[in-house]
Amino acid sequence: MFDALAERLEDAWKKLRGQDKITENNIQDALTEVRRALLAADVNLQVVKNFIADVEKAALGAEVISGVNPGQQFIKIVYDELVKVMGESNVPLATTATAPTVILMAGLQGTGKTTATAKLALYLRKQKRSCLMVATDIYRPAAIDQLITLGQQIEVPVFELGSEANPVDIARQGVEKAKELGVDTVLIDTAGRLQIDESMMVELARIKEAVKPDDTLLVVDAMTGQEAANLTRTFHEQIGITGAILTKMDGDTRGGAALSVRQISGQPIKFIGVGEKVEALQPFYPDRMASRILNMGDILSLVEKAQEEIDIADVEKMQSKILEAKFDFNDFLKQMRLMKNMGSLGGLLKMIPGLNKLSSTDIEKGEKELKRTEAMINSMTVEERKNPDLLAKSPSRRRRIAKGSGHAESEVSKLVTNFTRMRSMMQQMGQGGMPAMPGMGGG
Ligand code: GDP
């Protein structure tokens, strides 16, 4: 995917070589590619149209910089514009001089509202801020229990009055309780419906009126794609939101909803949910989201990352391990992850002169191979990773790993053989000897 978009942009942009200005005429192909990429990332159609108009404005008149890959230059323009639209930097939660800060959670049912309430509470608790969660969803009986269970799990108190009480009263009394307890943030979970309906909006508006929240956060499921725009519009017009949380970003979605929410409401995404666990919450960063929406690690940041990730001490440790033949599967996994952290293999190879001509099939093959290897190592026990010889000796261990990782036994055997061979080769090189070339026969 990464390659496909980058290549298409580059093709579209190549036509600009030799021209020194970006004009309305010569930019159209490239804009079409951006449009496709955004739609594929689930950005709402209208939002895409507005965005493309912005990009065109930003690009027009820009000098085509000689010596710079024109595709990358254009990508940079698009990227910068995306970051700009999404608000440049992270916007934190509201804080108030007098406690408690009141945060109201709004959204449709199933978006992850209750989970997000607990995630936020845990996030705040880790920053040494005390919280109270308030359960006002009286319609879905399990909702109150769900919040109580989450509360116990993260050790944050929950205020509730059962399912007979009025949600507005529960919210109001919840805030009173927070004052009484002296906590500094109160998080109010509210009822959602499967679809927007009038009574839900009226009730939310009343709760809002009663507790005067400092932050009203719309919880949006990133998987809803195009719909995120309408949802945001309705909630913002009828309730008035001050921010949003985009959940389920751990899924396949590229997160185009982020752009829609921001452009329609003008309000910032403050957090993203990246999993079902209560810890799975991250502050939202426009630059990271822009990379994700364009489906390409920013080329510049890839270089920076590469510098960051390779810790000299780590490298030295690895070297001495190699010399002592202590290099094991854990080290191997670490190296593989290091590579992955730095972006896709394809992205990395492209930065290496001479290797940037590898076909995308070659790169894909390589990436697949890495994934398979990782799956097999993941199926090994701690002991086996530390001591690869265990595997060389035991067919039953290899069989178990094959089963666990969903690979053929022969593949596991091959991995172990290659690993052992590589290790002894490295060791010989370390000792200054000439390695016997494996697979060459003779010798
Ligand atoms: P609510 O009806 O809006 O309160 O939604 P819930 O908090 O009950 O969440 C609905 C479902 O989505 C649950 O199964 C959650 O575990 C799941 N969920 C919530 N947030 C995330 C997330 O960020 N990632 C994933 N994968 N699942 C999530």
Report the pLDDT value the prediction gives residue 322, as an integer from 0 to 100.
60
Tens digit of each residue's pLDDT (9 = 90 or more) over 198-240: 888 999 999 999 999 999 999 999 988 788 999 999 999 999 9
Q: Is 109 in the pocket of ligand 1 (CB under 6 A)?
A: yes
Give yes or no for residue 150 CB within 6 A of ligand 1: no
Q: Which residues contact 304 (CB under 8 A, 6 or more apart)?
A: none
- To the question of whether residue 111 is assigned a binding role by annotation, the answer is yes
How far apart CA 76 and CA 84 sit, in angstroms, is 12
Under DSSP, is residue 291 helix (H, G, I), strand (E, B) or coil?
helix
Query: Which residues, in sequence order, are CB contacts of 246 under 8 Å at separation 6+?
Result: 220, 222, 255, 257, 258, 261, 269, 271, 272, 273, 284
Q: For residue 292, say whether it is annotated as part of any ligand binding site.
A: no
* pLDDT attached to residue 82: 86
Both tokens assigned to 79 = 């990227």
How close are the terminal C-alpha atoms of the chain, in Å?
44
Q: What is the domain partition of the chain in residue ranges?
A: 2-85, 101-284, 299-430
Q: Closest Cα partner for 228 from 87, 107, 104, 49?
A: 107
Q: Residue 54: is its pLDDT beyond 80?
A: yes
Closest by alpha carbon to 192, among 85, 265, 112? 112
Among the residue ranges 187-191, 226-230, 363-367, the one predicted with the least confidence is 363-367
- 310 class by beta-carbon count within 10 Å (0-12 exposed, 13-18 middle, 19+ buried): exposed
Out of 104, 115, 221, mutate this one to test ligand 1's pocket (max ligand atoms within 8 Å of CB): namely 115
User: Are 2-85 and 299-430 equal in CATH topology?
Assistant: no
More confident position, 18 or 425: 425
Residue 133's pLDDT band (cuts 50, 70, 90): very high
Torsion of CA 222, 225, 229, 232, to 10 degrees: -30
Q: Is the ipTM of this complex over 0.90?
A: yes
Ligand 1 within 6 A of CB of 167? no
Tokens of 11: 């093709």
Query: How confident is the prediction for the chain on average, in pLDDT?
Result: 81
Q: Check residue 319 and give its pLDDT.
A: 61
**18: confidence class by pLDDT, cuts 50, 70, 90:** low
Specify the pTM.
0.67
105 annotated as a binding-site residue? no
Q: Is 110 in the pocket of ligand 1 (CB under 6 A)?
A: yes
pLDDT band at 353 (very low <50, low <70, confident <90, very high): very low
pLDDT bracket for residue 294 (50, 70, 90): confident
The pLDDT tens digits for 155-177 are: 999 999 999 999 999 999 999 99
Render 392-410 in DSSP notation, one character per residue.
HH-HHHHHHHHHHHT--HH
Among 53-57, 176-180, 279-283, 367-371, the minimum mean pLDDT is found in 367-371
Query: Is 288 a residue whose pLDDT tops 90?
Result: no
Instruction: Specify the DSSP element, H or E, that contains 244.
Output: strand 243-247
Ligand 1 binding pocket includes 117 (Cβ within 6 Å): no
273 Cβ closer than 6 Å to some ligand 1 atom: yes
Q: Is the CB of 142 under 6 A from ligand 1?
A: no
61 close to 24: Cβ distance less than 8 angstroms: no
Q: How far is the CA of 113 from the centre of ligand 1 (A)?
A: 7
When pLDDT is averaged across residues 119-123 and rounded to a whole number, the result is 97
State yes or no: pLDDT of 269 exceeds 80: yes
Q: Which two tokens stand for residue 404?
A: 């666990």
What distance in Å separates the CA atoms of residue 41 and residue 185, rounded to the nearest whole number? 35
- Amino acid occupying residue 400: R
Confidence band (pLDDT; 50, 70, 90) for 364? confident
Instruction: State the amino acid at position 277 in one-letter form.
Output: K
Give yes or no for residue 305 having a pLDDT over 50. Answer: no
Instruction: Report the interhelical angle of 360-378 vs 395-405 (nearest 10°).
Output: 120
User: For ligand 1, atom 6, which residue shows the shortest CA distance?
Assistant: 112
The percentage of residues in the chain with a pLDDT greater than 70, rounded to a whole number, is 75
Q: From CA 131, how far away is CA 182, in angstroms rounded?
A: 9
Residue 404 CB neighbours (<10 A): 14
* Ligand 1: centre distance to CA 403 (Å): 31
Given the candidates 2.40.30.10, 3.40.50.300, 3.40.50.360, 3.90.1150.200, the CATH classification of the domain at 101-284 is 3.40.50.300
Secondary element (H or E) of residue 307:
helix 299-309
- What is the dotted CATH code of the domain comprising 299-430? 1.10.260.30
Q: For domain 2-85, give its CATH number from 1.20.1050.140, 3.20.20.70, 1.20.120.140, 3.30.300.30.
A: 1.20.120.140
Residue 287, marked binder: no
Q: How far apart are CA 123 and CA 307, in angstroms?
A: 30
